[in-house]
Every structure is written in structure tokens, then in C-alpha cells.
Amino acid sequence: MTKDKNTTIDTMFRSGFHFGVARSRRHPSTAPYIFGVKNKTEIFDLEKSDVALAAALEFVKKIAATGKQILFVTGKSEAKEALTNAAEKIHQPFVAGRWIGGTLTNFKEIRKRIEKFETRQVEKEKGELAKYTKKERLLIDREIAKLDRMFGGIVSMKDKPGALVVIDPKKEAIAVEEARQVGVPVVALASSDCDLSLVTYPVPGNDVAKASIAFFLGEVAKAFFESVALKPEVK
């Protein structure tokens, strides 16, 4: 085992990456990654998780090198802050909340709603809402706030992304299914209750602990950034 590999596994361990769920909740697809059980909680084999993570990060680098975007997705409260930070750090779109059905499978319609949101924002910034009554402005402000909650994180997404990065594919089953339907690969941090066969690049690990989630997202963001940084400038 190399020094870098040792360091990564040690960091994974310290973040609680090795903790799965109770054995009674285990999905059969995760069985090869289980090392054992401690206090009724299954423990992942971190050497195998590390191999899976390395494969996922190599894929992320390839996507970044093509210039395509990666869409980060989570609805878990414990993951929202880390996911938003990771996505914004590398200027990628994100959904940190409820997945809006059709985001991928009906993207043209979703794009229209995003454009409406952008138009309303510009109107407000330019003071063009002054022509409306006070009641109308209040309703428009509410509309802007609602559109922001729904689409604020994906305004930069002009086309379907090159990949999805998901925290807990079981919870985000609709997003994962939409990605499958439109041919978008999925990279996911998945605990032992997830069906890994539904994910292109599953990384078996703790998808509940904030430290574990932050570690995973940090590695993804770093891989993406490094790949973009190494791209030769177009002259």
C-alpha cells in the first residue's frame, strides 16, 4: 500500500466513512464491500471503497477535461452545506433540496422556467418593477423567491450535464432514474442500503455523517478543479 493510499484511507476512517447501516437494511449489491459488523452497524472495507473512489475521481477528471458540467445533487439536510460549497467552489450547478421532476428528462421546459427567473431578476435589479402596483410587486417578489429556491443552483446549466454527483442515490432515486433515462452517468456516495447497480460510479461509504460527506465532495471538487487547471489554453 502506497503512502498516498494510506493517507486517504486514514482520512476516510477519521471521517467515519466506514460506517454503513444495520445489517437488516443492507442491499445485496453492497455485500462485496462489507468488512464486518460493529455494534450492529455494518462496516465498509475502506480499501475497496478507496478503489471505488479513485475510479470515480478519474471519471470526474475526464468529464472536466471535456468542458462539460457536473450537477451536484442532494436533498439531505446534513449534506446541503457541503454540497453547495463544493459546487460553488468549482462553479458547477447544484440541487441542494427537493429534486424537481423533469430537471433532466424535460430540460427544455425547465430551462424556460429558469429563463423566466433570470428575466424577473434582471427586471428587479434594473428597477423595472416600479411600474407595478405594490401588491403586484409583492407577488412578483414571492415568485422570484420561489423560482430561486427551485432553480437558483442550476441557472448556469444550459444543457444536460456530463454527470451527476449524488449523495445517497436511494434518497435521490428520481434524479438517478432521470439520469439513466437521458444517458447521464452518476457518481454517488452510497451507504449499504443503496442499490449500487443503479449507479455508474458508486462509492460505498457513510452518506449520513457530515464529515464523510464533506470528504467525498471535497475529493470530487479537487479532481474536477485539477483537471480543468491542467487543460491547455486555447489560442
Residue 93 has pLDDT above 90, yes or no: yes
- Phi, psi of 172, deg, nearest 5: -100, 40
Pick the CATH number of 3-104+160-230 from 3.50.30.50, 3.10.129.10, 3.40.50.10490, 3.40.50.1820: 3.40.50.10490
pLDDT of residue 91: 96
**How do residues 33-88 score in pLDDT, each as one tens digit?**
999 999 899 999 999 999 999 999 999 999 999 999 999 999 999 999 999 999 99
pLDDT of residue 234: 38
Q: What is the mean pLDDT of residues 111-137?
A: 87
CATH of domain 107-154: 1.10.287
Residue 231 has pLDDT above 80, yes or no: no
Name the band, by pLDDT with cuts 50, 70 and 90, for residue 235.
very low
Average pLDDT, the chain: 93
pLDDT of residue 134: 87
Is 3-104+160-230's fold the same as 107-154's? no
- How distant is the alpha carbon of residue 127 from its chain centre? 35
Other CB atoms within a 10 A radius of the CB of residue 15 amount to 20
pLDDT of residue 232: 52
Residue 205 has pLDDT above 90, yes or no: yes
C-alpha cell at 234: 486555447
Residue 233 has pLDDT above 70, yes or no: no
Distances (CA, A) of 53 to 97, 127, 139, 144: 24, 48, 46, 39
Taking the domains of the chain in order of start, what are their residue ranges? 3-104+160-230, 107-154
